[in-house]
Structure 1
Amino acid sequence: MASVVNKIRRWLHTPQGRQARAHAERLARDPRNRARLRGLLNRRGGSSHHH
């Protein structure tokens, strides 16, 4: 599993990875997207709440 993490870490340092990360950060700043993401995480996490 660590090899997958290492591949992702290496990819994040490529121009495509940096661009994707910047795009994700822009999306994360949008309140509607944050609410949608929270909903997805809550559904996947079941009844456990991480506040």
Structure 2
Amino acid sequence: MTSIGQRILRFLRSTQGRRLAQQAQQFAARPENRRRLEQLRHRLDRRSRR
């Protein structure tokens, strides 16, 4: 059985995975979206410390 990491790598190397990664990069390139992502990251970080 393959590990979750191997499955993720296989997906990212696929056509669909590359397309999705490119969309994520385009999304993160916009300043307003980057700000939203930072806010989400901080919220999740605070939750994990509890």
Instruction: Kindly state the Cα deviation for residue 44 of structure 1 after the two structures are TM-superposed.
Output: 1.2
Aligned partner of 1:13 in structure 2 is 13
The total of aligned residue pairs comes to: 45
Structure 1 residue runs without a partner (length 5+): 47-51
Aligned equivalents of 1:9, 1:16: Cα separation in 2? 12
For 1:9-45, what per-residue CA distance to the aligned partner results, in whole angstroms no more than 9, with x for missing partners?
A: 0111110000000000000101111100000111111
Deviating above 4 A after TM superposition, structure 1's stretches of 4 or more consecutive aligned residues are none
2:38 counterpart SS class: helix
Aligned equivalents of 1:41, 1:35: Cα separation in 2? 10
Which protein is richer in helix relative to its size? 2
Aligned residues with identical type, % of pairs: 36
1:39 counterpart SS class: helix
TM-score by length of 2: 0.82
Aligned partner of 1:45 in structure 2 is 45
TM-score by length of 1: 0.80
